[in-house]
Amino acid sequence: MTGKELAEMMRYSVSDCHRALVKEYGRYVYAIVYNKIRSCGTKEDVEECVSDVFADIFMKCEFDMSSDTDIKALVSTIAGRKAIDRFRSLCARANHITDTEEEDMRALASDFSVDEHVDRSEMRRVLLDKIDELGEPDSTIIIQKFYYNRNSREIAKSISMTDVAVRARCSRAISKLRAKLVEAGMSV
């Protein structure tokens, strides 16, 4: 979803725009916030922080949404900063975490990032959808070649084609897939 798309939605209906934004990025924001404050906050703290994130995003939507770029980076930045602020305030209120413990938690959190995991999962989903859109036998060829590491001869036997035909279709399918991914906003 781009900034211009949001601005256009807001022109027609602010509440529809807000609903679309929460539907599109709700789980993503929740994952970011939960990852940051799960060690010191309750479920209510997480939900309150998620609400604050969307409130900030809605404020940003009202003032500066003229960009053609995807707003996922903006959403991620706002969610991360709000969650860190909430983490600090919860820890200060509880007064039970020292600076060294906070750094230890950051080190643990840096080993596994929910944000990156969600991004990778979403990219895989989009990639598989785009491969599926290629149709048969192209999607089968791509899946067998790149997911199962099969060579042209093995693929040709399984789909009753010649090696040369499989290589030619694979080359064309990769070109089509690259175009579809660029169209979907993914860099190749």
Nearest CA to 58 out of 48, 42, 71 is that of 71
Nearest CA to 122 out of 82, 62, 76 is that of 76
80-105 confidence digits (pLDDT tens): 888 888 888 887 776 654 555 556 55
42-51 confidence digits (pLDDT tens): 888 888 888 8
pLDDT above 70: residue 117:
no
Domain that holds residue 152: 120-183
Three-state SS at 93? helix
Do residues 30 and 66 share a domain?
yes
Do residues 134 and 175 share a domain?
yes
pLDDT above 70: residue 68:
no
11-53 confidence digits (pLDDT tens): 777 778 788 888 888 888 888 888 888 877 788 888 888 888 8
Do residues 10 and 102 share a domain?
yes
45 within a domain of the structure (yes/no): yes
188 within a domain of the structure (yes/no): no
Do residues 170 and 107 share a domain?
no
**Taking the complete model, does pTM exceed 0.85, yes or no?**
no
Do residues 77 and 14 share a domain?
yes
